[in-house]
Amino acid sequence: MSKSRNATRRGARELAFQVLYGLSFTPAKTRMELRRAFVLSPHNTAMDESHLGQEPAGFAWELVEGVWSHSEALDAAIARFSHNWRVDRMGRIELTLLRLAMFELLHRMDVPPKVTINEALDLGRQFGTDNARNFINGILDAAAKALGNGQLSPAAPANP
């Protein structure tokens, strides 16, 4: 993967995290509400109200829409690897990062698990605490190992 594509994906992950984190306070009940939250996010400098009638595109939107669409299954997968921690007791930052990374692990076969984990840890470094990074790393590492040895099945691609 080229450096510019890597930088673009990193920015897309950051935008997706920011939109999803905002949705943890004011959830979108419909896809239209989700699209509106994405387009009007103050962090989405590429879009404004004039884009509301258009379907968003790009990696950031794929992540936001994918996490939103699969949140129950993602939470179940996170719960499976978060020993002694219930999903509903996790901090919003940590849970948002875990959902985003778990979506990539399970639905984005074009992204190697190590890249997904490293990106989640980088976002955790940027937005979370030192303890959060260890927590996130432990859960994602266990999920990646389970994925690698067939104990966790990847889903069909979310956006073929």
Q: 87-146 pLDDT, tens per residue?
A: 989 999 999 999 999 999 999 999 999 999 999 999 999 999 888 889 999 999 999 999
Residue with tokens 């691609």: 157
Distance CA 29, CA 107 (A): 22
> Who's near 12: CB < 8 A, 6+ residues apart?
58, 59, 60, 63
pTM: 0.87
Q: Using alpha carbons only, what angle is made at residue 104 by residues 153 and 24, rounded to the nearest 5 degrees?
A: 115
> 3-148 is classed in which CATH architecture?
Orthogonal Bundle (1.10)
Taking residue 116's Cβ as centre, other Cβ atoms within 10 Å add up to: 22
Would you kindly state where each structural domain of the chain is located, as residue ranges?
Answer: 3-148
